[in-house]
Structure 1
Amino acid sequence: MSNATIVICNYNYAAYLPVAIDSALTQSVGTTRVMVIDDGSTDNSHEIIQQYGDRITAIFQDNRGQVAAYNHALDQIDSTHVIFLDADDLLHPDAVKEVMAAFGSGDFVKVQFKLEVMTVDGMGTGVTVPQSSLVGDCGKLLRQGWLYPSPPGSGNAYRVEALRCIFPVPVSADNVYGADFYAIYGVPLLGNVCAIDRALGGYRVHRSTGRKPGAGGAADLAFANAEDSLAGARKAATRWAILREIVHDRLGETLPVRFFDFSSEKALFGNLLYRAPLARRWRWFTKESGSYFHTVIANPFWTLRKKMAVSCLTALCLVPFASLSDRAVRYIANPLARGGR
């Protein structure tokens, strides 16, 4: 029997919200609770939420951001497990059933599963995330500064008592979004993570709606919706510093000052090298690429074959042919460039 809550955090996603709510309500485990927290939306989200009546628990808060929404939800839910579903994503009908079976198979604080990347209209792209497999002890590797491969927020389920050791997370002008960072990288310090190696939901990409690779600028590299890739990479350093404080104060542990994450490094790499002159590309390779190549060569989650493949693709950025270099950058920086879309 399920003892899980699906929490949908929404801000001005009325265009996608009904799909997310319906996917939560139609779980094959009928006892799953559904909570929708609206973060002060100014579109017609309020009306959509009210249409569901008592089929969901609706919470309306002033616009304070995703971190505040996670904090609020963890004050309200009374289940043992929770999935935080983004309002523009969806879950497959058996998601909760499979997640709870995974929790029941061992002593896990988190169960993660792959997400199918969708276009703005919900069509599949042929890409799933994460693309790297979960191997090793996530907590041990986090204590060494390595951020392990995880799906976006909607692809994670947590034991609530573990989340409450990390949350509430401080809300400030510099810490409004990215609540899933603290959940994804904080909870594994408290126990084991189980990875389901198949897609149990969909991740909708809509930042660059109507633009195709090659259209120019950030649209060619965009993948995440809430932030562009460069902003996300820079914010990760701030979030890691906040997580270090939380872990030190509440768990009595000291995480490394520096973290290692290929996703952040490839975002910086893409924004520096895409459509850059040849001299700029070579300057990066000779003087600025140390952190990037460390997350490739020393990556504990990758096979030797993948390390060699990424290194060879990166080397293509040094050729004098801009079109070939830019294609290699797109392929590395944006998973959608590999899905035939």
Structure 2
Amino acid sequence: MPKAADPNPEKPMPAPEISVLINNYNYGRYVARAIDSALSQQGPSFEVIVVDDGSTDGSRQVIAAYGPAVRAVFQRNQGQAAAMNAAVAASRGAILCFLDADDWFMPGKLAAVARAFADDPDLGLVYHRLQPTANDDALKGPPVPRSLCQGDLAPRMARTAGVWPFPMTSALSVRRKAWDRVGAIPLRFRISADAWLVGAIPFMFRVAALPQALGGYRIHDNTWHRAEDDAPMLRRRMAHWQATVEELNAFLAARGLGWRLDMADHFPHRVAASRLRPLGLAERMRLFLRGLRFAGEPHMLRRGRDALRTLRLRQTADAT
């Protein structure tokens, strides 16, 4: 089994093939599993960078206990984007594999990602499915995302305000040259910074999807995914989607790319807005027909299922 690259700057070493970049904030009870899952990988050479974003629990002690096996960066709290940017700045690998501290990699993850990038030099982003799991390791449904998209995604994303069935942070790997071309994550993404990676990179580089579940995604109270969203959460999601489209449009304009995103095409935003107010039958039908045409879900049966759900939308109880 290969060892993680020695981070001691006094011992010059060739750059590793992969940098595993773990961002952590107050996940001291979880971060050891994330680090261990990275250090146990076999195949390509790699290094492990852990950025602690100003945790106030015992995270720093857990991370420091790994000594030279990881490169630790401790910074004041600035949000997930700042933590991920700091991890990239501290890394040397040609491939950047991101990992949230409450998730973990499964065996073979780094080898599979390295093969995918080697097979197609034009890829900027490789992703895989994640297995949702409870704190007791009980499985919470099938691997996500259910639908996979790959190749040139820009035309599809231009029709959907950037929406596609993208995965979470811990499934994302980025070629460093793609990161350098696109630029660091805007600091306004204090949470859900993965929205920038899956939004900007596909407009400039091809994407590959691996069908395996190569990581675990922990379901707990601090995640976006809930059985039922209340009104404050719906508003947070809507604000996040709006901010993402604003940042992506600024990015596309600054690079002279012809694409422009329109919030009117963002079907999840329309659905969320509809749950915050009473909805008449005519409006439900219009939303249903829009859902049937929404290219953000490429799988026709799942698209139809999502559209049908709009006919049964209930106003969120605390929407007023």
Q: Supply the AA of the counterpart residue of 2:163.
A: L
Partner of residue 166, structure 1: 182
Where does residue 10 of structure 2 map in the other structure?
none
**Secondary structure, counterpart of 2:302 in structure 1:** helix
1:42-61 map, 5 Å: 42-61=56-75
Q: Hey, what's the Cα distance between the residues in 2 that align with 1:292 and 1:176?
A: 33
Aligned twin of 1:311: 307
- Find the counterpart in structure 1 of residue 126 from structure 2: 111
Q: Provide TM-score, normalisation by structure 2.
A: 0.82
* Matching residue within 252, 256, 268 for 1:252: 256
**150-159 vs 139-148, which deviates more?**
139-148
CA pair 266-16 structure 1, distance change in 2 beyond 3 A: farther
Cα distance, 1:244 vs. partner? 1.6
- Tell me the distance in 2 between the aligned counterparts of 1:94 and 1:49: 23
> Please, which of 195, 198, 208 is the counterpart of residue 181 of structure 1?
195
* Cα deviation code 1:80-109 (max 9, x no counterpart): 111110011111010010111111111311
Structure 1 segment 284-303 matched on structure 2, within 5 A? 285-287=281-283, 290=286, 293-299=289-295, 301-303=297-299
**Bigger helix share:** 1
Work out whether residues 80 and 160 of structure 1, in 8 Å CA contact, stay in contact via their aligned partners in 2.
yes
- Paired position in structure 1 for 2:227: 220
**What percentage of aligned pairs have identical amino acids?**
27
Q: Does 1:89 align with 2:80?
A: no
Change over 3 Å in CA distance of 1:256–1:67 after alignment to 2: same
What is the one-letter code of the residue matched to 2:257? E
Unaligned runs of 5+ in 2: 3-15
Compute the TM-score of the two structures, normalised by the length of structure 1: 0.78
- In the TM superposition, what is the alpha-carbon distance from 1:290 to its structure 2 partner? 4.4
1:157 aligns with 2:173: yes
Whether the 8 Å CA contact 1:71–1:168 is kept in 2: the answer is: yes
RMSD, aligned CA: 2.9
Q: Structure 1 residues 64 and 288, CA, compared in 2 at 3 Å: closer, same or farther? A: farther
- 1:313–1:288 distance in 2 versus 1, CA, 3 Å: closer
SS at 1:60 equivalent: strand
Cα separation, 1, equivalents of 2:283 and 2:312: 17
Between 44-53 and 175-184, report the one with greater CA deviation: 175-184
Q: What is the aligned partner in structure 2 of residue 214 from structure 1?
A: none
CA contact (8 A) 1:133 1:301 kept: no
1:17-96 map, 5 Å: 17-29=31-43, 31-96=45-110
Query: How many Å apart are 1:70 and its aligned residue?
Result: 2.0
Give the aligned partner of residue 11 of structure 2.
none
CA separation of 1:263 and 1:97: change in aligned 2, threshold 3 A: farther
Task: Give the Cα–Cα distance (whole angstroms) in 2 for the partners of residues 161 and 136 of structure 1.
Answer: 18
Of residues 163, 186, 192, the one that matches 1:147 is 163
Which SS does the other structure have where 1:126 is aligned?
coil
State the AA in 1 paired with 2:307: S
Task: Indicate conservation of the 8 Å contact 2:44/2:110, yes or no.
Answer: no
Q: Deviations over 1:223-276 (max 9, x none)?
A: 9xxx94541232111122012212322x2224324144444445445x438xxx
| Distance in 2, Cα, partners of 1:243 & 1:220 | 29
Distance apart, 1:190 and its partner CA: 1.7
Matched, 1:127 2:142: yes
Cα gap change, 1:264 to 1:142, in 2 (>3 Å): same
CA distance in 1, matches of 2:216, 2:36: 13
CA–CA distance in 1 between the matches of 2:184 and 2:105? 26
Match of residue 239 from structure 2: 234
